Copies of this chain bind each other. A is one copy, B any other.
Amino acid sequence: MKRITKLETPISFISSAAVGGYEEKRGPLGNKFDFCDPSDKFGQKTWEIAEGEMGRVALNTALTKAKLSHEDIGLLVAGDLQNQCVASSTGLHSFGIPFVGVYGACSTCTESLMTLSAFMSTSADLTLGAAVTTSHNAAAERQFRTPIEYGGQRAKTAQWTSTAAGAFILGRTHGAVEICEYMPGRIIDGATADGSNMGGAMAFAAADTIINYFNESGESASNIDYIVTGDLGKVGSDVLKEILIKELPGVERLHTDCGLLLYDFSEQDAHSGASGCGTSASVLASHFIPLLNEGKIKNILFMSTGALMSPSSLLQGENIFGTAPLIRLKSTIGEKE
């Protein structure tokens, strides 16, 4: 069965916002973020609630940029990395927007944009929707590994969970940046139980998605500016490139990864790169959407990559699964009418 859906209904980005913490502000994209809190606390008493607040600030910023009120938004699709997605519900409940919670680990940003597009295509009344994704370094460390106060040593293959959020307002209308296709990812065995090598685990899922996309669409690589993965980091990006060189030679040259863009490796202790679902969300909002909006790039395949595991499954020695849903974004700037 076909996996790619071409959207007949135009779905475009009305606005987007990126919010981050201390490390994100210091990174190469720091000045493009809409709001950063160098304390990482966002005025809250726990890291967990701070993550929710970060999502609230991101959505508020995106609404303000679009000159919209929360009452204009018909559906909110959101997710995060915390147990039971509690950051999304605590942070976003005050808007009172009908809500669909998604879980795809670090694939959440693409998953939420894809899911929101499907809901908006189905309902003519749903003219405006929002997608929000958050992750918080300290909440994630406490949950998946050890609290940061413990000062545990990180492996060289490990990544740095970003304290970041991305919020997007989508409209059921033509616009400068449109979602023209989506393709859900399969659940692919990452062939490792090493929670310090999530990039390596997710690379197989990214490869599965890219290979299927080109096989099914027959698309030429020359029509694509970038294939953007979420947070494979250095290790995962190397694994992915090795697979692509063998399976789709040439395509590997289009690859870039949000986990390689968020931090400055010479200045910041990011090890294999950034991770966390806020990574691809904030890099999309602060970097790729502006490039598309200005017409500097025309077509990208964007796929956040998720490592499907839990603290229990890691302790129980289970393999990590990966998934990589894909959306194709195009810039309509300079297009003939």
Contact = CB atoms under 8 A, between A and B. Distances in A.
A156 interface: no
A312 B82 contact: yes
A109 to B, nearest CB: 13
Nearest to A105: B84
Contacts of A128: 1
A73 to B, nearest CB: 7
A103 B108 CA distance: 11
Interface residues on chain A, size class: 35 or more
B125 A90 contact: no
Contacts of A321: 89-90, 93
A84 B183 contact: no
Contact of A312 (B98, B127, B143, B308): B143
Interface stretch (A116-124, A219-227, A242-250): A116-124
Contacts of A281: none
In the assembly, how many copies of this chain are there? 2
Nearest to A144: B84
A116 B205 CA distance: 22
Given A3-B74, A102-B102, 18 more contacts: A1-B127, A2-B126, A7-B122, A49-B316, A83-B311, A83-B312, A93-B186, A98-B183, A98-B184, A98-B185, A99-B185, A99-B187, A100-B114, A100-B115, A100-B325, A103-B103, A115-B118, A118-B122
A-B pairs, top 10 by smallest CB distance, nearest first, are: A93-B187, A89-B308, A98-B184, A84-B310, A83-B310, A103-B103, A121-B122, A1-B74, A5-B123, A86-B310
26 contacts: A3-B74, A5-B122, A5-B123, A5-B125, A46-B316, A49-B318, A75-B184, A83-B84, A84-B310, A84-B311, A85-B308, A86-B308, A86-B309, A86-B312, A86-B318, A90-B313, A93-B187, A98-B183, A98-B185, A99-B187, A100-B104, A101-B111, A102-B102, A117-B122, A121-B121, A143-B312
